[in-house]
With several copies, the nearest count.
Chain A
Amino acid sequence: MRDVNCRCRMKILDTAELKAVIEALLFAAPGPVRLEQLALAVEAEPDRVKRQLDELEKEYRHMQRGFVLVELADGYQLRTRPEHAEWVRRLHSSRPVRISRAALETLAIVAYRQPVTRADIEYLRGVDSGGVVKSLLDKRLVRIVGKMDAPGRPLLYGTSREFLEFFGLRTLKDLPTLKEFTELTRESESLLLDFEAGIEEEPSPAAPEESGEG
């Protein structure tokens, strides 16, 4: 961390700047913030902070702004106006989202170990993956390729044509072999080789019903 970040004594904020800092804190906070937390963070009396919160609240309400300040059970929070909900929703649905880490992990497991059950995925990821699998199915990146011949007959998942398109692959054979990634560390090398054992051959898209896993 640079020097500038280490100054431990902080100046006392004048009123206008106090308001700006409070706005910044509310803006960056992941959830509602209590008055006391704010006061502690800005080193000002709660009363003074409260006055600025009221100012901000009024300002947002009267000026035409994109958000308002609401007081909730566990503190203050900036929120978009209910009148704007429809536009916000539109943006959310039109905006291509970044694929989540969870989805990427799940896709990777499905791609390299297909056909694979949800339990396999969860074992490897260590967390419940129902939601992710479902969303990948919805996006058609993953498809059901059959059922396992085992108690409960769990579904088997594999990758879809859309998966290939999404990653710009012609066929599953174009998936880079995991070995190609082993140069980074010795340690990951052994992990990857373990993992890959058994799928050395082309990961065959779906051999449902009979496939008892590698």
Chain B
Amino acid sequence: MSYEVDLEVFKGPLDLLLHLIKKHEMDIYDIPIAEITAQYLAALDAMKSLNLDIAGEFLVMASTLVHIKSRMLLPVEAEADSEEEEADPRAELVHRLLEYQRYKQAAVTLDEYHILGRDVFARSCCEDTEESEGNAELQPVGIFELVEALQGLLREAPPEPVHEVVREKLSVAERVSMLLELLGDCRSLAFEALVSRRPNREELVVTFLALLELAKLRMIRIMQNQRCGSIWLFPTETDAGRELPLQDENFGYC
């Protein structure tokens, strides 16, 4: 393969064009359009022969080049005599290449900065300490950040059930102790989190019975916030015998 270009490296058609211009020492302000088009198409062929997916942008640029080339072949129209320069079909491409080159180099410069988390490090102990600083004033944020947060959230929600439980025979007692363990260090747990991703009937029944046992023992509270909504489990305070009235104050916070 005569094209020993590292194809992975090119971030786009403009990048590839700049490379070809530099490599063949062309004058960017007077690009030999026939030659660059040939080089460019050859590069695309090289990509194809390597079975690389050629992004649509590369093909669009190919047709742009061919188009410019064909316009260059047309005889100069009489009306263009006053401002020949403006009629150069390559003008926009040159604009774009020069512009792209500037940002490409700006990117290189940015890369040389001492980047936080890569080249320099700040103290990393104290991120998100917000909970502990109950009444600290908050820095203002834009409304768009709010929506961005939501968008990020929706990308992941609703959460996948996290526990894949493997077992051969199910007993209610085992389930009870397993649930207690799960509940041990959480303040609440969704029912879905208790069963495997595709629970079979048996698993569901045993889990449900175990929950009822626990509820009877007053070791958990079971809540559902709407009909058909998800079921939530809340472990009760340690002394299991004590009756816990379902007060609002009890609902939320510890």
Contact = CB atoms under 8 A, between A and B. Distances in A.
Given A28-B123, A108-B149, A151-B224, A165 B100 contact: no
Contacts of A78: 122-123
Contacts, number: 345
B229 to A, nearest CB: 7
Given A94-B124, A181-B147, A128 B133 contact: no
A182 B140 contact: no
A159 to B, nearest CB: 10
B234 to A, nearest CB: 10
B217 interface: no
A1 B55 CA distance: 25
Given A181-B105, A213-B142, A154 B96 contact: no
Nearest to B229: A119
B152 interface: yes
Contacts of B149: 101, 104-105, 107-108
Contact of B29 (A92, A100, A188): A188
A33 to B, nearest CB: 11
B251 to A, nearest CB: 6
A127 B99 contact: no
B131 interface: yes
Interface in A28-44: 28-31
Interface in B170-210: 186-188, 190
B24 interface: no
Nearest to B162: A126
Contacts of A51: none
B119 A137 contact: no
Residues of B in contact with A, size category? 35 or more
Contacts of A128: 55, 57, 186-188
Interface residues of A, number: 92
Contact of A152 (B94, B131, B225): B225
Interface in A60-112: 77-82, 85, 88-89, 92-105, 107-109, 111-112
Given A81-B120, A134-B253, A99 B139 contact: yes
B57 to A, nearest CB: 5
B126 A125 contact: no
Interface string B145-172: 1111111111111110000000000000
A147 B122 CA distance: 34
Which 4 residue pairs are nearest across A and B when measured between Cβ atoms?
A212-B142, A126-B159, A30-B126, A97-B117
